[in-house]
Amino acid sequence: MISTISQLLLLSSIIVFSFVSNFAQSGVRISTVEELMASVKSGPCNNKERLEAVKKLFKEMGAADADIAVESFKDIQNVVITKKGKSDDKVVVGAHYDKVSDGCGTVDNWTGIVILANLYRSMAAVTPEKTYIFVAFDQEEIGSRGSEAMAKKIAKEDRPKYCSMVNLDSFGMGYPFILENASSTPMVKFAKEVADGLKVKISSAPIEGASSDSASFKGKDIPAITISALSAKWPEILHTSKDKIENVIADSVRIGYIFSLQYLVKIDSSPCDQFRKK
Ligand SMILES: [Zn+2]
């Protein structure tokens, strides 16, 4: 079964690759599936080791020590790296690095951290229109505390400067999937347009009782979205002892990364107003 899904993903991955390889001329660096999976494998199973592992991963992706800030709120530690663009319009790109006690937290959410760090490296040689704030959030699994703390800190008058928030949570089980109840409607619509352009299958649904870090920003009127790559079998893996590297489909991580990269590229060339339309 997995091999069938994997083959399908591989096929669309090739289509996607030929499309995205155009980025090469613009200086965007595209990570290979091998590079992505090497980073996925490096994710520690122990929660206490994950903060250091996040910093190490960003250094491997080219960040200097001075670029990597840890923003603390009491017992919360978010890792923040800013990539300045031509304008002050801000796009927050986030993923949580904490995990539940069962399993290794590989799908949920070391895959999101790996995509986050690879997106940072992909953009290293370009000067984007907008300013990108890459954040690895702490304590999502106990009530999105890391993202709540960051969103709360943004002064009300500064909120219009936040163009959008793109959250990456749980990849490696299927095609891109949008968690509707944690996402703003115009951001979901935009995701479907980007997926259509890439000829990538995408689905979206609200999942009762599920949330993620985008909801913290959506709650402050900042347009936000949670992107995953899951299949209908996600309840068998997430938050269980089976959330390990053996259950990660490499092509799903790769397609999640390519889709997210294209989504950011499209956001960069779009007016922010369009994400706020009701
Ligand atoms: Zn998660």
User: Is the pLDDT score of 207 beyond 60?
Assistant: yes
Mean pLDDT, residues 61-66 taken together: 97
CA distances from 14 to 7, 18, 22, 200, 216 (A): 11, 6, 13, 11, 35
Residue ranges per structural domain of the chain = 2-271
Q: Ligand 1 mean position to 29 CA, how many Å?
A: 27
User: Domain 2-271, CATH 3.40.630.10 — does that match?
Assistant: yes
Strands 69-73 and 76-83: antiparallel
Q: Who's near 227: CB < 8 A, 6+ residues apart?
A: 166, 167, 168, 169, 176, 177, 178, 191, 256, 259, 260, 263
Band of the pLDDT at 1, cuts 50, 70, 90? very low
Band of the pLDDT at 27, cuts 50, 70, 90? confident
Percent of the chain with pLDDT over 90: 84
pLDDT for position 6 = 65
Model confidence over 156-180: pLDDT tens digits?
Answer: 999 999 999 999 999 999 999 999 9
pLDDT for position 65 = 97
The single-letter code of the amino acid at 67 is: D
Q: Ligand 1 mean position to 127 CA, how many Å?
A: 30
Q: Ligand 1 mean position to 148 CA, how many Å?
A: 15
pLDDT for position 239 = 96
For residues 109-129, one letter each, b for 16 or more C-beta atoms within 10 angstroms of the residue's C-beta and e for the rest, the string is bbbbbbbbbbbbbbbeebebe
Q: Ligand 1 mean position to 141 CA, how many Å?
A: 7
Band of the pLDDT at 20, cuts 50, 70, 90? low
